[in-house]
Amino acid sequence: MVNLNIFSPFHLGDYILPNRIIMAPMTRLRANSDGTPTELMGTYYAQRATAGLIITEATMISPLSHGYMNCPGIYNDKQTEGWKLVVEKVHQQQGKIFLQLWHSGRISHPALLNGELPIAPSEISAVGHLHTPIGKVSLETPRALDIKEIPLIVEQFYQASVNALNAGFDGVELHGAFGYLIDQFLQDSSNKRTDEYGGSIANRSRFLLEIVEAVRGVWGDKKVGIKLSPSNTFYGISDSNPVNLFSYILNVLNDYNLAYIHLMEPSDIDLATGNVITSVLDTFKNFYNGTIITNGGYDKSKANDVISSEKADLVSFGRPFIANPDLVTRLEISASLNETDGKTIYGQGTNNAEHGYTDYPFLT
Ligand SMILES: Cc1cc2nc3c(=O)[nH]c(=O)nc-3n(C[C@H](O)[C@H](O)[C@H](O)COP(=O)(O)O)c2cc1C
């Protein structure tokens, strides 16, 4: 039997990933204010191109999907052209890169939406604050989507995935995690609809599945991934029966020949609620037949364990990639990791764009 570890290559559809270390999607808020990716973002991702696969930060699929200042978009030509340059830089370094498609839904504010109310499945506010051009604000009660508007949002996901194809990405990941719009439809604390998009688990999953169909229509087999976070409590999201909900979704997703399912484990904050599934991978892995990326709190040893025991196929690392562009090499030779500067994780308001972004040192 072959002894697998995080440095074993992996066949992801047509692609051969040189290792199983995936860069998790991370919002860094360094795009231009109109959502255009910058050249520096290309440098940042290219520096990390030794990852088996890079998944980009959450990227807006429409103006109303705007959740944070300086997050990137892919809903117009200018943004798409900006991403094209980012992808080219990653490909020049032989990297592979998927774009994360995102709608923030109720995690937004009129100050980010030209005065419009954020949209959501139901008129239920999330819990928390946001930074906006008018300062730090509490989240407002969103407007419930009219059923006639839902196909328009599916269409926006479709168009954004066409734009991602034109920008040269290797695939896309749908952001179905963290209490954003897709997750707001899935979980019953945020979805109280009485039409065919609410109520039963099948109804609450309909929005996600319509988006999957649309985006798969653009990308085909093994090029579309989905991130899910059954134990995440971000901005107050929860479900009364997450085991039933997410096992149902995984079962149905078996039919779509996706690139992968990206399953996030609970954070310490989620675990502190005392009310979440403590091992997402153990609970859900048997419901899905395809490729699984596991995520959340991995180091080299835990990652090797989960790969060698074949509980998951790939492991994504988030925070360690912020300060370690050469994380793959550092893990390989068990070198120490650079420390992350907490003040520059998010770029909003930073004067020196490179600082804490592209100036972390490589091993010499
Ligand atoms: C600064 C930062 C930004 C993040 N942004 C995103 C994002 O845009 N999309 C997403 O799905 N997850 C996002 N996450 C979550 C990470 O992808 C990952 O799930 C989380 O950090 C746990 O993995 P880790 O323990 O390896 O860091 C973010 C995490 C961090 C630390």
Dihedral (C-alpha) 77, 82, 88, 93: value to the nearest 10 degrees?
-150
Determine, yes or no, domain membership for 112: yes
Q: Which ligand 1 atom is the nearest neighbour of the CA of 177?
A: 11
C-alpha distance from residue 152 to each of 33, 147, 158, 260 (Å): 24, 10, 10, 26
User: With contact defined as beta carbons under 8 Å apart, do 254 and 226 qualify?
Assistant: no
Determine, yes or no, domain membership for 56: yes
Determine, yes or no, domain membership for 354: no
Say how many Å lie between the CA of residue 55 and the centre of ligand 1: 10
Instruction: Give Cβ neighbours of residue 315 (< 8 Å, ≥ 6 apart).
Output: 6, 20, 21, 22, 293, 294, 295, 298, 303, 306, 307
Question: Among this protein's residues, is 180 annotated catalytic?
Answer: yes
pLDDT digits (tens, 9 = 90+) for 127-178: 999 999 999 999 999 999 999 999 999 999 999 999 999 999 999 999 999 9
pLDDT digits (tens, 9 = 90+) for 272-281: 999 899 999 9
pLDDT at residue 40 greater than cutoff 70: yes
Q: What band does 348 get if pLDDT is binned at 50, 70 and 90?
A: low
Q: Which domain holds residue 247?
A: 10-344
What are the φ and ψ backbone dihedral angles of 282, each rounded to 5 degrees? -60, -35
C-alpha span between 318 and 331 (Å, rounded): 14
Q: Cβ(228) to ligand 1 under 6 A?
A: no
Q: What band does 2 get if pLDDT is binned at 50, 70 and 90?
A: confident
Q: Cβ(317) to ligand 1 under 6 A?
A: yes
Determine, yes or no, domain membership for 148: yes
Instruction: Give Cβ neighbours of residue 76 (< 8 Å, ≥ 6 apart).
Output: none
Determine, yes or no, domain membership for 3: no
pLDDT of 66 reads 95
Q: Which ligand 1 atom is the nearest neighbour of the CA of 71?
A: 8
DSSP annotation of 37 reads P
Determine, yes or no, domain membership for 361: no
Mean pLDDT, the chain, rounded, equals 96
Q: Cβ(297) to ligand 1 under 6 A?
A: yes
pLDDT at residue 1 greater than cutoff 80: no
Say how many Å lie between the CA of residue 147 and the centre of ligand 1: 31
Q: Cβ(177) to ligand 1 under 6 A?
A: yes
- CA-based radius of gyration for the chain: 19
Q: What band does 351 get if pLDDT is binned at 50, 70 and 90?
A: confident
Q: What band does 353 get if pLDDT is binned at 50, 70 and 90?
A: confident
Determine, yes or no, domain membership for 154: yes
Q: Write the CATH number for 241.
A: 3.20.20.70
State the pairing for strand pair 97-102/171-175.
parallel
Say how many Å lie between the CA of residue 295 and the centre of ligand 1: 9
Average pLDDT over residues 345-354: 80
Determine, yes or no, domain membership for 298: yes
User: With contact defined as beta carbons under 8 Å apart, do 48 and 330 qualify?
Assistant: no
Q: What band does 208 get if pLDDT is binned at 50, 70 and 90?
A: very high
Q: Cβ(24) to ligand 1 under 6 A?
A: yes
pLDDT at residue 17 greater than cutoff 90: yes
User: With contact defined as beta carbons under 8 Å apart, do 275 and 240 qualify?
Assistant: no
Q: Which ligand 1 atom is the nearest neighbour of the CA of 319?
A: 27
Q: Whose CA is nearest to atom 16 of ligand 1?
A: 318
- Look at phi and psi of residue 344 and say left if phi exceeds 0, alpha if psi is from -120 to 50, else beta: alpha
User: With contact defined as beta carbons under 8 Å apart, do 264 and 227 qualify?
Assistant: yes
What are the φ and ψ backbone dihedral angles of 181, each rounded to 5 degrees? -55, -45
Taking Cα atoms as reference points, which of 248, 250, 262, 260 lies closest to residue 290?
260
- Write down the pTM of the prediction: 0.98
Counting the structural domains of the chain, the total is 1
Average pLDDT over residues 100-129: 96
User: With contact defined as beta carbons under 8 Å apart, do 279 and 266 qualify?
Assistant: no
